[in-house]
Amino acid sequence: MDKKPDLVVWSEENGYDAKLKPYPTNLGAFPFELPDVSGVKKKSTGKMMEVFERERIEIIEKANSLIREFEISVMVWESKISFEPIMGKTYFLYEFSSGKTLSLIAPDQWGRGDSFIGAFLLSSENKWIKVDRENSSSGSR
For residue 140, what pLDDT is reported? Answer: 42
Spatial separation of the C-alpha atoms in residues 21 and 9, rounded to whole Å: 9
What is the per-residue pLDDT for 7? 62
Q: For each of the chain's 141 residues, which pLDDT tens digit applies?
A: 567 666 677 777 888 887 777 777 777 777 777 777 788 888 888 999 999 999 999 999 999 999 999 999 999 999 999 999 999 999 999 999 999 999 999 988 877 668 899 999 999 999 999 998 655 444 443
- Give 124's strand partners: none
Question: Where does 1-141 have alpha helices with state H?
Answer: 37-77, 107-110, 133-136
Q: In degrees, to the nearest 5, what angle opens at C-alpha 87 toward C-alphas 105 and 134?
A: 45
Please give the pLDDT value at position 4: 65
pLDDT attached to residue 133: 63
What is the number of other CB atoms lying within 10 angstroms of the CB of residue 35?
A: 7
